[in-house]
Structure formats: C-alpha cells, structure tokens
Amino acid sequence: MPEKAREKFLNCASEKRTMQKSEPNPKHARRRRFKAKRRFKMGQVKLPRVSRSAFPSTFTVMNMLCGYGSIICAEQREYALAGWFIILAAVFDTIDGFVARLTNSSSEFGVELDSLSDLVSFGAAPSFLAYKFGLEQFGIWGAVLSSALMVGSGLRLARFNVQLVGFSKEYFLGLPTPSQAMTLSTFVIWTSSEYLFTVEEMKLALTALTLILSLLMVSTVKYDLLPKPKEFRKYPFKTIAFALGFLAILLFQAKGFFFAMCFYIIFGIVRYVYFFFSEEISESRSEPAAEPIEPSLTKPNSNQLNSQP
C-alpha cells in the first residue's frame, strides 16, 4: 500500500508540473509579448529618399533667410547691411531657378515655396527697410506708405502664379519683385554712405520711390528677362544693355547698381508708352471710311412698287 500511494503521489506531481509548463503564468506571457513588440531589426530600416526638388529648394530657403536677416539688420539700424542681404537674396533666387531648370526638378511645391520666400525677401524686407530708413518719421502714414511695397509684391506674385501656365518667356508683365527690392536696397546703400540729401529731401525721394515701385509692380508694363547664353545673337541690343549694367555694377558698386536698375525701369516705361500710342495710331488709320449711299437712278419695277407700304 505505501508503494502504491507513493507512485500515485509521484504521478500527480509530474502531471502538475506538465500542466504548469503547458499553461504559463499570464504575467510572464504579457512580458514576452511586450518584448516581441520592442524587437528591432536593422534590415527593416530604410532612409528617406532625397528628391531632386530638394536641391533648388535649398537655395530658396537661403533666399528666405536672407530676407529675415535684412529685417533684423534694419531693426538694428544697419541699413547698408540690410540692403546687401536683399541683394544676396536676389542672387539665391536666381540660382534656385537655374538649378531647377538644370536638374529638371520643377514642382508645385517649389513654386509655392519660391513665392513665399520672395514675399519675405522682396516684400516684407524692403518695406521694413524703407520704413526704418526714412518713412518712420511720418508716423502712422509712414507705416501705411511703406506697406505698399509689401502689398504690391503680394499682388504681383499672386498674378504671376495665376498666369504661370501661359507665361511668356520673353518678358515680365509688371516690374518683378526682385527688381523693385534691389532698386530700393541699392538706393539705401548708396545714400547711407554718401550724404546727398537733407532729411526733408530724403523723405520726398523715398516717398516717390516707394510709390513708383509699388505701382509698377501691379501695372502691365513689360520688362525684359535676362537673356540666356544661346540668345545673345538673337537679342544683341538687350545683351549689350545688360553687359553695360554689369560693368557699371563692377565699377561703381551700389551707385552703379541703382542707376542700372533705374535705366531698366525707365526703358520699360518708355517702350510701353511708345507701343501704346503707336497701336492707337495704327488702329485709327486702318479703319475704312464709310462710303456714301447714292440713290438709285433706275426706275423701280412693279414688284418693288407692290412691296412698298
């Protein structure tokens, strides 16, 4: 009897051990499931692919940062440095378009980012620079007047984005925002180093320049693009004019830059006025004169007499 009881006890103990192995503790099971979720495999990690549009977008971001730097310098009354930051932003704006065409990486994202960067660098930065440089003395009216540059830049960029599909590759419709920003910034750089105007004369000059640039941006005056190397022979006058402008910039720095931009602006206005009046004259000459209606000398027949009331 004791041996049978012992065997029965051993069998029950072994069955209990097997049941414990087959049915683990739920706490340990939760830990195992949690560890399985935290398992990390190096083979599944994939780095994001850098698209081609990232290269021109890098220069676009540099354009935006230059505009922000110009605002900071204008706040600290470093007007010449603020003007050079705007010119550097225009350089980055030119490079990003060149890189986008070179790599064939134009995209809707790049177009929208470029417009926002241009609004900061060529809208908000020149507007704040004009306000701090001279228009601040007008008080609230100076703030309203300087904001015309930012509003005009926003309208100009919005119109450009809307008309981007049918955009002509030969000219801009309205003064480009980088051109107005460089005109204002070179004027500030030049006049801050050479005292040419009194305080009152500076107010009037800056007011006139702000109004003219703001109106030209929303106008329909056509302005030429920078010619490409393959177009030098096709447009010799344009090529020579731009070459002389670059030469003036190299020789006279900010002063030459300002007068080169003034020539660019005035040439567009003169050409617009010339073609406007020449088209009107040609239309008036092409209209034929109305011929007088002569009464018929022949006698009416019977059918015509019967048809008359």
d(CA 237, CA 264): 13
Q: Is residue 45 part of a domain?
A: no
Please report which helix (H) or strand (E) contains residue 261, including its range.
helix 236-286
Instruction: Give the separation between CA 137 and CA 160, rounded to whole angstroms.
Output: 34
Per residue in 160-172, pLDDT (tens digit) is 888 765 455 678 8
Of the two residues 240 and 18, the one the predictor is more confident about is 240
CATH at 96: 1.20.120.1760
Helix axis angle for 108-119 and 140-162, nearest 10°, is 160
Asked whether residue 177 is domain-assigned, the answer is yes
Classify residue 301 by its DSSP letter. Answer: -
What is the distance between the alpha carbons of residues 112 and 118, in angstroms, rounded to a whole number? 10
Please check the confidence at residue 300 and state whether its pLDDT lies above 80: no
Residue 297 lies in a domain: no
Query: Which letter does DSSP use for residue 227 in this model?
Result: P
pLDDT for the residue numbered 283: 59
Q: How many domains does the chain have?
A: 1
Give the span between the Cα atoms of 177 and 173, in whole angstroms.
11
Strand 222-224 vs strand 171-173: parallel, antiparallel, or unpaired?
antiparallel
Indicate the pLDDT class of residue 3, thresholds 50, 70 and 90.
low
CA of 88: how far to CAs of 82, 156, 248, 280, in Å? Answer: 10, 21, 18, 42
Helix (H, G, I), strand (E, B) or coil at 223: strand
The residue range of the domain holding 184 is 54-225
Q: Within a domain: residue 155?
A: yes
Reference 92, options 62, 137, 50; nearest CA is 62
pTM for this model (two decimals): 0.73
Does 17 reside within a domain? no
Average pLDDT over residues 120-133: 94
Question: Who contacts 206 (Cβ-Cβ below 8 Å, separation ≥6)?
Answer: 130, 133, 134, 135, 187
Whole-angstrom distance, CA of residue 150 vs CA of residue 210: 10
How high is the mean pLDDT of the chain? 79
How far apart (Å, rounded) are the C-alpha atoms in residues 193 and 130? Answer: 16
pLDDT in tens, 20-64: 555 555 555 555 554 555 555 555 556 566 666 677 888 999 999
Does residue 217 lie in a domain region?
A: yes
Amino acid letter, 234: K
Residue 261 lies in a domain: no
Yes or no: say if 59 and 96 are a contact pair by the CB < 8 Å rule.
Answer: yes
Report pLDDT digits (tens) over 179-232: 999 999 999 999 888 877 787 888 899 999 999 999 999 998 988 887 676 666
Confidence band of 149 (pLDDT split at 50, 70, 90)? very high
Does a structural domain hold residue 284? no
109: Cβ contacts below 8 Å, ≥ 6 apart: 53, 57
